[in-house]
Amino acid sequence: MNFLELLLVFLKAALLSSGGLQALPILEDELIIQRSVLTDGDFATAVAIGRITPGPNGLFVISIGYYAGGLPGALAGVLGIMIPPFLGIALVRAHRRLAGRPWVEGVTRGMMASAVGLLSALGYSFGAPLLSEPASIAILVASLAALLIVRADVLLVLAGGAIAAVGLYFLGVPLA
């Protein structure tokens, strides 16, 4: 597919989704079911890459773009996800105009509370599948202690998790 076509598909997916992963079913429908430019295997690979790569979830569209249209396709993916976030400017301006009123303070507190709950729900979605393997739980608890008690650097904690996982692999201990 050419650059412009792909850009429009990626923009549509970004505008109709909230959070990077929600774009997936929309792209699946557009690129696999309707146009058959990609296979399920391409998608699975792209999603796997999106999990390894640093940064926010949803960068898998760069891989999808590459599979569907080479380097220009990858660029279409980058641009497609970078345009909708600029709606945030309008939201900040609206928020500023209203700041300082008691009900806005209440709104802020409500959002703060839901942020804690939603973040925990995200952690739960990562953590629940780990409960079957004690070694995974041990890494989770050790990381949590390193972050909250020692205030260790994120990269150190991630590296620790990776080193532990490789060590456990050689010892034959299963990880979830």
Residues in region 45-74 near another protein by CB under 8 A? 45-46, 48-60, 62-63, 66-67, 74
Q: Does 24 interact with another protein (rule: CB under 8 A)?
A: no
> What is the rounded distance in angstroms from the CA atom of residue 21 to the CA atom of residue 125?
14
Question: Phi and psi dihedrals of 139, rounded to 5?
Answer: -65, -40
Q: What Cα–Cα distance (Å) separates residue 134 from each residue in 126, 143, 169, 171?
A: 15, 14, 14, 14
Residue 8 beta carbon to another protein: minimum distance, rounded to whole angstroms: 14
Residue 167 beta carbon to another protein: minimum distance, rounded to whole angstroms: 9
Toward another protein, which CB reaches closer, 36 or 125?
125
Q: What Cα–Cα distance (Å) separates residue 70 from each residue in 67, 83, 92, 143, 175?
A: 6, 21, 36, 39, 36
Chain residues 93-112 in contact with another protein, contact rule CB under 8 A: 95-97, 99-100, 102-112
> What is the rounded distance in angstroms from the CA atom of residue 17 to the CA atom of residue 25?
10
**Which of 1, 31, 68, 136: binder of another protein (CB under 8 A)?**
136
Amino acid at 59: L
Q: Does 87 interact with another protein (rule: CB under 8 A)?
A: yes
**Which of 2, 29, 34, 121: binder of another protein (CB under 8 A)?**
121
